[in-house]
A = this chain, B = another copy of it.
Amino acid sequence: MSPTNPSQVRKTPRQRRSAETVEAILTAAAHILEKEGFEAATTNRVAVEAGVSIGSLYQYFPNKESLVRALNDRHTKEILDLLRKRFGELQEAPLKNSVRAIVQTMVEVHRVNPALHRVLVNVVPGIGGLAETRVVEDAAAALLTQFLKARRAELRPLNFELSAFMLVHAVEALTHAVVLERPELLKGEAFVDEASRMILGYLRTSALDHPET
C-alpha cells in the first residue's frame, strides 16, 4: 500500500469513473452515519445508497471498518488543513485576537457536519483508528505548541507541551459540546467570548496562583 493510502484501500482507482465510485461510496457512508449512526451503515446499505454494487464497495474497501476509517481520514485531514492555514495567518495579530480566531476556527470546523463528527469521534477509536486519532490530536497540539512558543513573551511561564495538551482537549470538548447541545450560544459571540476567556485566563494568569482564596 502506498503512503497516500493509509486506510487500506484495496485498489487504487486509475480511471475517473472508479474515482467517482469511491467518492459515491464515501458520500453515501457519510450520509448514513450522519443520519442514522454506525449500526445503520451496513455495507449493503451503503452500496445501495451510493448507487453502486456491493462488489464495487469491496473492490476498494476490504471491510466496513476501513471504509469508516477512510472517511475519518478525509474528515480529519480537512480539519488539520484548516487549522494549519489559520495558525499560519495568525503570526502577528494581537494575542487576544489570535485566540478568538482559533476558537472561531474550531467552531467552524465542528459546524460543518456535527452529527458525522460525533459519530466518527466516538466510533473510530473502537475500530482500529485509535492511532490515527492520536496522530490528529498530536498534530493539533504541535501547532498550538508552536504558537505558544512564538508568543512566550506575552504569556506566563509555561510547560508548552502540557499546556497545548490541556488546551487541545478542553477546546475540542467545548466546541463539540456547544455545537451539539447549545447551538444557540453560537448565534452571537457568547461562546467564543467565554472560551477565549478561559484560554487567556489559563495562559496569562500567574499572579493568582499562590494567594489562598
Contacts and interface: CB of A to CB of B under 8 A. Distances in A.
Interface residues of A, number: 44
A195 interface: yes
A204 B200 CA distance: 12
A53 interface: no
B204 A208 contact: yes
Contacts of A162: 185, 190, 194
Given A94-B213, A165-B177, A170-B174, 14 more contacts: A37-B126, A96-B213, A119-B126, A134-B181, A154-B213, A162-B190, A162-B194, A163-B194, A169-B177, A170-B198, A200-B201, A200-B208, A201-B202, A201-B208
Interface in A139-162: 154, 162
A32 interface: no
A174 B169 contact: yes
A112 interface: no
Nearest to A171: B170
Give the number of times this chain occurs in the complex, counting copies: 2
Dominant secondary structure of chain A at its interface with chain B = helix
Interface of A: 37-39, 94-97, 118-119, 122-123, 125-126, 134, 137, 154, 162-163, 165-166, 169-170, 172-174, 176-177, 181-182, 185, 190, 194-195, 197-198, 200-202, 204-205, 208-209, 212-213
A126 B38 contact: yes
Contacts of A123: 122
A71 B14 CA distance: 49
B126 A213 contact: no
B198 A198 contact: yes
Given A94-B213, A126-B37, A213-B96, A166 B181 contact: no
Contacts of A97: 212
B96 A212 contact: yes
B213 A205 contact: no
